[in-house]
Structure formats: structure tokens, C-alpha cells
Amino acid sequence: MSTVKSALAQKSGAALIHVRSGDMVVEALRRMRDNRVRAVLVIDDDVLVGIVTQGDCAIKVLLPGLDAKQTPVGQVMTGKPVTVKPDDRLEGCMAMMAARGFRHLPVLDAGKVVGVISIGDVVKDIIRDLEHNVGDLMGYVMRDGPGG
């Protein structure tokens, strides 16, 4: 498996999707919809303060009957999210996501937010590795294998 940095490089449309903690939940939902993502970072004054997911919006806003147009993101976000660094290995990210039930990990480089790694990004990396390994094995069997 590769690093967080290489997985970020594989992502299309690497724009950083975020809101401020004072923005209303409806704005976070709009950004999720418009960018086809399930979570957005919460950044105030260039500092990561949280992450808000579709699940947060459903469980903390919809179920209690709050109004997404009048509920600030800061009220429903997960504050101080666990983060990873660009040089971290994806195996470690995958293990952390599985153990702690995360689907998204913000990526910080020298304290600055540079992206987000999702469980989907990790799965795509695993598939790329498997395809590469299958190609290598097929080459071995077809060219270099016994009787070849």
C-alpha cells in the first residue's frame, strides 16, 4: 500500500471542501451535494476545528427536529477530529478507520489542511495494488513460469 500523499494525488478535483463553524448546516449539506461528498471539513481562520458528515446532520439535526437553516455547523460537528499526515501509510489509516468507525480523515501537513482521505480512497488504492499484483503474476505465469 502507498502513502496518504499518493492517495491524495489520485483524487480528481482535489479542491478542499469546507465550511465555517458559524455557517448553517444547510450550507454544509449544499456543499456535500454539490461536490458529491459525504463530509466537509470545518475550518475557522485557516485552522481545522471539526468535520461534519451527512450522518451528523441526520442524527443531530433531522431526528431532533432542528432546522438546518438555523442550526450552526459548530453545534453538530465532530470537534478536534483525528488527523493524518501526508507521509502516513494507508494501512495505518485503514486500521484506524476500521477500529474507530471513521470514514474520513483530514490530512494536515505542518499544521495546514491539505485534503481528506476517505475509506473509498483507501479501497481504490487496494484495488490498484491488486490489479498491479495480478498483472505481475500473469506476466510471470505466461512468460517466466514453469515450462515457459
Q: What is the pLDDT of residues 41-84, one digit of tens each?
A: 999 999 999 999 999 999 999 999 999 999 999 999 999 999 99
Q: Which of 67, 37, 36 is nearest to 52 (CA)?
A: 37
The reported pLDDT for the residue numbered 129 is 75
Sign of the torsion angle spanned by Cα atoms 120, 121, 126, 128: positive
Q: Which of 84, 104, 101, 96 is nearest to 5 (CA)?
A: 84
Structural domain range at position 124: 4-144
Instruction: Supply the CATH number for residue 93's domain.
Output: 3.10.580.10
Domain count, the chain: 1
Q: What's the predicted TM-score (pTM) here?
A: 0.82
Q: Residue 74 is which amino acid?
A: G
All cell numbers assigned to 126: 487496494
Spans of the chain, pLDDT less than 70: 1, 12-14, 131-141, 144-148
